[in-house]
Amino acid sequence: MAKVFFLLLIFLSLQVHAQEKMETDRPSETENPSIVPKKWMQAEIGISKENTGDNYILVLPVALLRYGISKKIELRLESALLREYEQLVPDPRTKTFTEPVVIGTKISLFEERSIRPKTALLAQATIPLKAKAQPQTTNATTAILLLMQNSVTKSFQVNYNLGVEYDDEASAASWQYSFESDLEITKKLEIFAEIFGSAQKNEKPEHSFDAGIEFLATSNLKFDLAAGWGLSDNVPDHFITLGFSFRLGR
């Protein structure tokens, strides 16, 4: 495995055709308005753990595939393998299952100009299939988000998302938000902090905070690490994620 990873690193370092900086949608919850270049494929892979009391969920791993079909449109495919641990007395319970596949598209709407943010539209939906070890078929969900970005200085940016998610069995739509600040320490190193959450009618709002670091090893390979905690009592107490992203193209 180490040899395969080393060869992949060499191959990615030789991909010199990509002139623009690689932007990723992980490890933060805030989606970036940037589009994968035309005819390029980008993979974003990570593992994570979130704890709620004595219970936890491991994501082993989550994978997002993005493909640029034009300068303004990309296609997306995402899924994850989860292991859920529940502290029960006398016998704890563990189950492993695959999350439903999420398909979507991101469409660039505007480039940044003065105070007008760089803006894109993200639309995605789950494929409601029965997943391994799950007792019932997962509900169909649809989400639509506006993704925005403003450059405060050459090294400091703010990204923010606002959108809505529909569940075919929920009584009301869930409104989603996130706000992220990014600081470029060097050309290869960035740090970020964000707050994110959701609100739904007749339900308690959910709010969380996280922060992390991203390291651009080559123009086409990035590593990341982030951790955070819940700000309300109906979200995970704390969580951590580690991952990497790479892209391949012509």
Among 6-15, 24-33, 41-50, 126-135, the range scoring the smallest mean pLDDT is 6-15
Q: What is the pLDDT of residue 247?
A: 97
pLDDT of residue 32: 97
Q: Which two tokens stand for residue 78?
A: 């995402």
Q: Where are the beta strands (DSSP E) in 53-155?
A: 55-68, 73-86, 93-98, 102-110, 118-126, 141-151
pLDDT at 45 over 60: yes
Average pLDDT of the residues of the chain = 90
What is the model's pLDDT at position 134?
54
Residue 185 pLDDT > 80 = yes
Q: How far apart are CA 176 and CA 199, in angstroms?
A: 7
Least confident of 22-36, 161-175, 179-193, 232-246: 161-175
Quick check: 74 pLDDT over 70?
A: yes
* Residue 137: pLDDT over 80: no
Give CA–CA dist 235/156, Å, rounded. 29
Which two structure tokens, joined as six digits, stand for 223?
């590593």
Distance CA 81, CA 135 (A): 16
Cα–Cα–Cα angle for 11, 16, 20, rounded to 5 degrees:
120
Residue 143's pLDDT is what? 96
Mean pLDDT along residues 76-100:
93
Query: CB–CB of 245/42 below 8 Å?
Result: yes
Is residue 211 within 8 Å of 241, Cβ to Cβ? no
User: What average pLDDT does this structure show over 209-214?
Assistant: 98
Region of poorest pLDDT, from 2-6, 67-71, 106-110, 217-221: 2-6
pLDDT attached to residue 18: 45
Amino acid 89: pLDDT: 82
Model confidence, pTM? 0.89
> Average of pLDDT values for 202-226?
97
Quick: pLDDT tens for 152-177. 999 999 999 999 999 887 778 999 99
- The identity of residue 135, as a single letter, is P
Q: If you ran DSSP here, which 8-state letter would residue 233 be given? A: T
CATH topology of domain 24-248: Lipocalin (2.40.128)
Distance CA 173, CA 166 (A): 5
Q: Tell me what the mean pLDDT of segment 178-199 comes to.
A: 98
Task: Reply yes or no on whether the pLDDT at 242 is more than 80.
Answer: yes
